[in-house]
Structure 1
Amino acid sequence: MKSTTKSLTVALLTLVITSSALADGPRGRYSHNPHRGHHERHHNNHSANWVAPLLFLGLAGAVIGAAASQPSPPPPQQVYVPPPVTYVQPAPVYVAPPVAMPAPAPQPAQAWYFCRSIGQYYPYTPSCPEAWQLVSPTPQQ
């Protein structure tokens, strides 16, 4: 854009300088006749005095218009960039093995208690005057 502006400025300055130099130049025909020469110089080509400024202004307007109508570059495209995928690995979870409970003690085989002096089994009699006798619940064969 700066080079275009610089080029336009140089072109306009050149046109201004050359047009003003041409505008100051002599007009009309010169004649040795003093009565006729002044009249010819003053009125000859009088109708063409507006052509040079008109051409200059038209050219300057065209140059400025062309510079102003330069297409601007398209706006930059916006590209969506998704955020990076991150995976946070959870801390390892340690599960303690279950505490091994000791197996329950084997229940003694169910036994009956017999009081020999009374001749009855516990719980039918709450007490025995002697030591209880352990008897197998199944009859012996």
Structure 2
Amino acid sequence: MQAVKLLKAALLATMFAAGAVAPAWADRGHGHFGRDYGEHGHGRHGRDYRHGHDYRGWGLGLLAGTAIILAATERRPVYYAAPVYAAPPVYIPPPVVVVQRAPVVAVPPPPQAYVEPAWWYYCAPAADYYPYVQTCPAGWTRVSPAPGW
């Protein structure tokens, strides 16, 4: 940044120095010092011409050139379009689905069918029970089994 300012100041000083010197040379005419000698188109002929050149606008040209160069090298703020921000994404939670289960009912076990207790068969003449006695001549007597026997 400092280098740019220094360059601008040096350029401006050079341009003004050249502009200040230009009027001093404008009056010179190859040793004729601006007099109208009427030879070879030198001197004044109603306007300030030297060899067909017009030197009247040097100061204005240097000033305009300096202004253009300084304007071209001047730092300007850069304007950008306003940023466009997208809206944040909208979060829509999924619907809550509750599956209701049928209530668990404890089914009681089916009632036990009455099972007739196993009977023992007693043979009185042999004084023993079946299967220890295979045949009983008097017939079998059905006996309820006693617990703990």
TM range, normalised to the smaller chain?
0.3 to 0.5
Highest RCO, 1 vs 2 (Cα 8 Å, sep ≥ 6): 1
More helix by share: 1
Q: TM-score, normalised by structure 1?
A: 0.42
